[in-house]
Amino acid sequence: MDTPKVIDTLNRILELELAGVVRYTHYSLMIFGHARIPIISWMSTQASEGLAHARKAGELVTSLGGHPSLKIGKLLETEKHSIDDILRETLEHEKGGVEVYRQLLDLVRDQDVRLEEYARQMIAHESDHISEVEKMLRKPGELKPAT
């Protein structure tokens, strides 16, 4: 296993998850309208989960002898704050997360069961988030996924 590459990838996950904490917190502050309460509750839950995910990635970094990053991943302020715009930004963020977790899986497959299972669980978890956001973007009564 290429431990330095694994540590680098885990640090990118740490940074991405911390960016998610900031994003979801910001988004929860910018939701307005009659659907505000359930959406901000969901966003707040996502921010809390992101912090837990960042902590786990950091713990794995240190268990491998690495130093956890103090950086935060990309934060882009689009100044678009409709619920649909926020959900589309959320979708892109979640898809980026799945990609980095897949990169980790590729690095550890058949080499470290613990890290392989971690990557698989996180891919599944983040994929569930993507499905939820895609459903939130659908119009009521539509069964076809939003594009």
Residue 57 CB: number of other CB atoms within 10 A?
Answer: 26
What pLDDT score does 127 carry?
Answer: 95
**Quick one: average pLDDT of 2-15?**
97
The encoded tokens of residue 69 equal 């990053």
Give 142: exposed, middle or buried? Use CB within 10 Å, 0-12, 13-18, 19+.
exposed
Buried b (16+ CB within 10 A) or exposed e, 93-112: bbebbbebbebbbebbeeeb
Q: What is the pLDDT of residues 119-128, one digit of tens each?
A: 999 999 999 9
Give 140: exposed, middle or buried? Use CB within 10 Å, 0-12, 13-18, 19+.
exposed
Alpha-carbon distance of 91 to 107, in angstroms, equals 25
Q: What is the pLDDT of residues 62-104, one digit of tens each?
A: 999 999 999 998 887 777 788 889 999 999 999 999 999 999 9
Q: Give the pLDDT band of residue 52 (cuts 50, 70, 90).
A: very high
N-term to C-term CA, the chain: 38
Q: Using the predicted structure, report yes or no on whether residue 145 has a pLDDT greater than 80.
A: no
What mean pLDDT, rounded, does the chain reach? 92
Q: What is the pLDDT of residues 33-48, one digit of tens each?
A: 888 999 999 999 999 9
Q: Tell whether pTM > 0.85.
A: yes
What pLDDT score does 64 carry?
Answer: 97
What pLDDT score does 141 carry?
Answer: 77
CATH topology of domain 3-66+78-135: Ferritin (1.20.1260)
Alpha-carbon distance of 130 to 119, in angstroms, equals 16
What pLDDT score does 16 carry?
Answer: 96
**Quick one: average pLDDT of 99-113?**
97
